[in-house]
Amino acid sequence: MKKRQLGTSELFISEISLGGMSLSTDKTQAAAIVDMALDAGINYIDTADLYDYGANEEIIGATLGKRRHDVILATKVGNRWAEGVDGWHWDASPSYIKEAVHASLRRLGTDYIDVYQLHGGTIEDDWDGIIDTFEGLKKEGLIREYGISSIRPNVLQRFLPASSARSVMMQYSALDRRPEEWFNFIAKQGASVVTRGTVAKGLLTNSWQQRLQHVNGFNTYTAEELTTTLTDLALHYNNLHALAIAFNLKEPTIASTVIGASSQQQLAQTLASYEKINSITDFKVANELTKNEYYQEHR
């Protein structure tokens, strides 16, 4: 498993990362997946305080145990649960971030977080206060680096130049190429992209035909366009799962692609596809068959 530098930080993370959101709440099943990932050379695990009301952090923390120092551990803050209320609300206030980091540390069973990410953001947020808070957490040694999970161009333009953020988590895949416009900008700010949605809800895996039966399009692709695009991609590249990973990792701004796994079988499929990405070197057809669109909102 190759590693790439996360922005200009001292962190080097595996090209494939394990997304915690898909992990089972069964501790035994989750531990088996995490151990399998670590044994395969994956050293970056991404979670959030939002997932399963914090239980996801607890499970990952308990599973890592003595292997904690072999892992670059990332979690997120900003989406706040309220007791007695369905759903969550956005809270990026400095006071809440300071409160939430200690709660995450406790659940993860660790005394530091490698990458602490704001789990969204709007242009109206108190960005000076947010940045000062993250910088303060770094000075305290509670976090090593920080970043943001956001696709909003105006948020990235406000946050990155004014901070020392080194990570931007974004949805990106061959079926959602909107972030490409911003890769150079992000790199110039000393940050890297960590992608989510790489396999596009399973449409960019070798189970794409079955997945097609359960969706009515994807993003701006109609059902008909999606069927045609995936059929043509599969005919040319044969292994859509390998293509999905290779398509993302062809971008030097991307440090890692986060892929979830709810079973060891799913993780094994991802790892097997990763082993085949070096056989895909020509992305001309993939670029021609897929839409290269731009974000229309939050500009």
Give the residue numbers marked as catalytic: 51
Q: Which residues contact 278 (CB under 8 A, 6 or more apart)?
A: none
Of 261, 268, 208, 202, which Cα lies nearest the Cα of 234? Answer: 208
Structural tokens at position 179 = 């972030």
| C-beta separation of 113 from 143 below 8 A | yes
Q: Is the dihedral of CA 191, 49, 12, 169 positive or negative?
A: negative
Q: Give the residues across from 111 on adjacent strands.
A: none
Structural tokens at position 265 = 């079988």
H or E stretch covering 211: helix 208-212
Long-range contacts of 260-263 (CB under 8 A, 24+ apart): 260/18, 260/19, 260/20, 260/21, 260/22, 260/23, 261/18, 261/19, 261/22, 261/23, 261/33, 261/37, 262/22, 262/23, 262/24, 262/33, 263/29, 263/33
Q: Which residues contact 182 (CB under 8 A, 6 or more apart)?
A: 153, 156
Distance between CA atoms of residues 115 and 236, nearest Å = 38
Distance between CA atoms of residues 166 and 131, nearest Å = 12
